[in-house]
Amino acid sequence: MSDRRSARLSLPESELSWRFTRSSGPGGQHVNTSDTRVELTWSLETTAALTDSQRERARLVLRSRLVDGRITIVSSQYRSQLRNRDAARVRLEQLVAQAIVPPRTRHATKPSRAARARRVDAKKRRGEIKRLRGGGWD
């Protein structure tokens, strides 16, 4: 992974919208009283954290995840609301950071002389196999 992909994006807290609900799964009586499941919603359209070109790139890459220009991340893997909040925020920041990385430019290369020779030899072998296959009708 390149250094550009591992750089962490930081989204302002004021742009994040949180919603908490009861989580399913283990937890005994505690699960019935605490809202540990976290839904994090962030608007790509109104964010000030990205430049216009980054926003356009993210819109293109994340188009299947966008609903009305917003991305929602759900986390309920931990029994603690705080840990779920942290996990959701990290996942959102990683998702957006990966989406705004521009694609690498492709540099045209030519096959090596040995690779061309192997290709021609393989074609000759295949042609020879086909030539020997035809015995004709006696």
CA dihedral for 94, 67, 38, 16, sign (positive or negative): positive
Q: What is the pLDDT of residue 31?
A: 64
Cα separation values, 12 from 1, 9, 122, Å: 26, 10, 59
Q: What is the pLDDT of residue 34?
A: 77
3-99 sits in which CATH class?
A: alpha beta
Q: What is the pLDDT of residue 92?
A: 92
Q: Which pTM was predicted?
A: 0.67
C-beta separation of 80 from 38 below 8 A: no
CA distance 77 to 127: 59
Per-residue pLDDT of the chain (138 residues; tens, 9 = 90+): 444 444 578 888 888 888 888 877 666 666 667 788 899 999 888 888 888 888 899 889 998 988 988 899 999 888 888 999 999 999 999 999 999 988 899 999 999 999 999 999 999 999 999 998 877 666
Q: Which of 105, 100, 78, 101 has its CA nearest to residue 20?
A: 78
What's the distance, Cα to Cα, between the start and end of the chain in Å? 64
For the record, the structure tokens of 80 come out as: 């603690």
Q: Are strands 70-75 and 16-21 parallel, antiparallel or unpaired?
A: unpaired
Q: Which of 8, 13, 34 has its CA nearest to residue 23?
A: 34
Cα separation values, 107 from 1, 28, 104, 110, 133, Å: 19, 58, 9, 10, 42
